[in-house]
Amino acid sequence: MPTPLPRSKVKKHQTWNAESVFSSPKKFDAEINSLLDSLAPLKKYQGHLGDSLNIFLEAMDAIEIISKRAAKIQVYATMASAVNTADQKGAAMNGKAMSALAQVGAATSFVDPELLAIGEVKLHNWLKDDLRMKLYEQYFNDLFRKQAHVRNAEVEEILGMLRDPFSNTRNTTNMLANADFKFKPARNSKGKKVDLTQSTFDAILNGSDRKARQSAWENYNDQYLEHKNTLASNLTTSIKQNVFNMRVRKFNSSLESTLFNGDVPVEMFHNLLSIFQKNLPLWHKYWKIRRKALGVKTLHPYDVWAPLTTKKHHVPFKKAVDYISDGLAPMGDEYVSVMRKGCLKNRWVDWAPNAGKRQGAFSTRVPQDTHPFILMSYTDDIGSMSTLSHELGHSMHAYYASRAQPMFYYLYPSIIAETASNFNQAMTRAHLLKSNPDKYFQIALLEEAMDNFHRYFFIMPTLARFELETHQRIEKGQPLTADSMIELMADLFSEGFGGNMNLDRERVGITWGTFTTHLYIDYYSFQYAIGISAANAITKRILSGTPNASEDHIEFLKAGSSKSPMDVFKTAGVDMTSTQPIEDAFEVLGDYIDRLGILTSK
């Protein structure tokens, strides 16, 4: 592994186009001040939304403009801090943005309680009286669905104000892991040091040097274990915040509260976990195939991502864009053209693995007058290509939704979010499996598929089980400690490994601590598995030649939150109220495992 470059040495074409959002940090600061000054005029609408249809429309137009400006501020601040987490200026920007967003939330919090007070009858009469009101029909329907859980204006304002201090728990964990942690270097099979950072960890685990993988995995998790009590305190506080919000809004559980807010059936969560546990033997089979293919006596957790052959497949960034574009060709010229230009011309992607870059990858959601941005650490291999494809799926979702919907609909719900990303991966993978018959390339593609399914159909459901148990303990007034969470996590992974993996209970058990984002977004982890299930169902429709399947998917991307989530899925031709897509996705997983077993046995 090469030593990660300092941020100052990264070439411009490898960085994202932050200056297209704000030309300088001074412009960012000026916009924050201007935005906060624009909040006071909203007061004139408070208490008057019901005076007339025109006053309501005028108020919503004003809020729409403010929301767009706030979104740009949030994106720019995220960009500044993500590429170099040790940069104090970037951290300060993020703090300013979070504070501003909290003030925006508090200033606009009067709207929902006031509309509820106006009443459903009057608002629906407005819908009939003026075509301009048609836009708000889904908003009204969803609002009155939530009516029993919306508090009065004063309480809602306080809850809006809590957004900033509550966000600090997640921010503290991110700063600890991404800025403060200094990992002990790994050692390769020749005894040489290998730099271990958040941006190099995945690449080392994907390498063929077992000693490097082992020492990287151990040193990485040991750093989290060293801070287990701080991490546990932060996560427990986050869970208590979720439970607090649940009780303020008068729900019976945090699971019910979170899923109700997103209009997701609670049964979907329990169905997923039930189907996951039923299919654990598939994973047990995979561990056996992987151990045999690697030729090791005992499989260890650091072997999960190891290459199964010595054959290297060099995939530079430009080649990856070509592969992804070819795979997504059935989506049409516009889709592919926008995506290619985003990568190669408009600098959507910040892809150099520089020192200080935060772990993982993400794509931003942005308003119409700018474009999505992707952060990742690209390492010229099939795994990086897959990550790029995944994040481009998110970006295309944001691109289409932001251009088709107003601000209050373009932020599609989280249960929808992972569908477009996994769809891109599934389409790219299917194309390459069909077009490149080379045995070793096929193995590498199947490994990529298994990495993807491992994360979304093994890790995420396991985290979801952990989430449910830890939330239930807090709801019952039971304590959570670092050691109790480590024991719970280790027990869940032990069940998933089925005796086919050496279980280092401490290091496996701290897995919850390494997820510094997912577990701080309440019950988000299970939604990855829902996303990959829907994505494979949509891919099947397109590749099997279902009429208008590609157009249906574009409409899905454009829908945002303008319909209920289950209706948005139906736009793409998929019924996620049924368990069938989840069952079918496990069949896809089983097919990949069988194919990998056959290829590696030869």
Between CA 77 and CA 72 the distance in angstroms is 9
CA 452 – CA 533 distance, rounded (Å): 12
> Percent of the chain, pLDDT > 70?
100
The count of other CB atoms within 10 Å of the CB of residue 462 is 20
Cβ atoms 83, 356 nearer than 8 A: yes
Q: Are 405 and 558 in contact (CB under 8 A)?
A: yes
pLDDT at 1: 53
Name the CA dihedral angle for 393, 394, 399, 405, rounded to a multiple of 10 degrees: 120
Q: Of the given ranges (54-63, 249-258, 319-328, 364-373), which has the lowest mean pLDDT?
A: 364-373
Q: How confident is the model at residue 2 (pLDDT cuts 50, 70, 90)?
A: low
DSSP conformation class of 2: P
Closest-CA residue to 230 (of 167, 176, 171, 165): 176
Per-residue pLDDT of 483-531, as tens digits, reads 999 999 999 999 999 999 999 999 999 999 999 888 998 899 999 999 9
- pLDDT tens digit sequence for 347-403: 999 999 888 888 789 999 877 788 999 999 998 999 899 999 999 999 999 999 999
- Better-predicted residue by pLDDT, 136 or 412: 136
How confident is the model at residue 159, as a pLDDT?
Answer: 80
The model's pTM is 0.87
Only one residue has tokens 């209050």, namely 408
How many alpha carbons lie under 13 Å from residue 510 in its C-beta half-sphere? 19
Q: Give the strand pairing for 349-350 and 374-375.
A: parallel
The pLDDT of 542-555, averaged and rounded, is: 98
Gap between the Cα atoms of 253 and 235, Å rounded: 18
Question: Is the separation of the CB atoms in 66 and 76 below 8 Å?
Answer: no
Q: What is the mean pLDDT of residues 465-475?
A: 97
Determine which of 79-83, 371-375, 430-434 has the lowest per-residue pLDDT on average: 79-83
Residue 207 pLDDT > 80: yes
Asked if 443 and 580 count as a contact pair (C-beta separation under 8 A), the reply is: no
- Distances from the Cα of 275 to the Cα of 285, 455, 461, 549, 579, angstroms: 17, 16, 10, 27, 9
Q: Hey, which of 109-113, 162-166, 195-199, 300-304 has the most confident mean pLDDT? A: 300-304
Res 573: pLDDT: 97
Q: Which two tokens stand for residue 161?
A: 């104000």
Pairing of β 193-194 and β 186-187: antiparallel
Beta bridge partner(s), residue 186: 194
Q: Rounded to whole angstroms, how far apart are CA atoms 544 and 598?
A: 25
Query: Among 115, 187, 169, 122, which residue's Cα sits nearest to residue 144?
Result: 115
Q: Is residue 2 packed enough to be buried (19+ CB in 10 Å), middle (13-18) or exposed (0-12)? A: exposed
Q: Cβ neighbours of residue 547 under 8 Å, at least 6 residues apart? A: none
Give the pLDDT band of residue 86 (cuts 50, 70, 90).
confident
Q: Where are the alpha helices (DSSP H) in 179-227?
A: 201-205, 210-226
Contact, 156 vs 150, CB < 8 A? yes
Q: What is the pLDDT of residue 590?
A: 97
Given a cut of 70, is residue 268 above it in pLDDT? yes
Q: Which amino acid is at 312?
A: K
> Regarding predicted confidence, which is higher, 91 or 503?
503
**C-alpha to C-alpha distance for 537 and 527, rounded to whole angstroms:** 15
Indicate the pLDDT class of residue 165, thresholds 50, 70 and 90: confident
Could you tell me the CA-to-CA distances from 106 to 50, 150, 529 in Å, in that order?
A: 20, 14, 34
In the predicted model, is pLDDT for residue 119 greater than 60?
yes
Q: Scanning the structure block, which residue is given the tokens 């070793």?
A: 440
Low-confidence winner among 67-81, 155-169, 373-387 (lowest mean pLDDT): 155-169
Which pLDDT does position 592 carry in this prediction?
A: 97
Radius of gyration over every alpha carbon of the chain, rounded to an integer in angstroms: 24
pLDDT of residue 366: 76
Q: Look at residue 90 in the predicted model and tell me its pLDDT.
A: 85
| pLDDT reading at 267 higher than 70 | yes
Measured CA to CA, the distance from residue 491 to residue 497 in angstroms comes to 10
| Contact criterion met (CB below 8 Å) for 444 and 309 | yes
**Higher-pLDDT residue of 89, 466:** 466
CA distance 536 to 553: 12
DSSP 354-408: -TTPPSS-EE----TTS---EE----SSHHHHHHHHHHHHHHHHHHHHHHHS-HH
| Helix, strand and coil in the chain, % to nearest 5 | 70, 0, 30
What element of type H or E holds 193?
strand 193-194
The pLDDT score that the predictor gives to residue 486 is: 98
Q: Which domains does the chain have, with CATH numbers?
A: 9-164 (1.20.140.70)
Q: What is the mean pLDDT of the chain?
A: 93
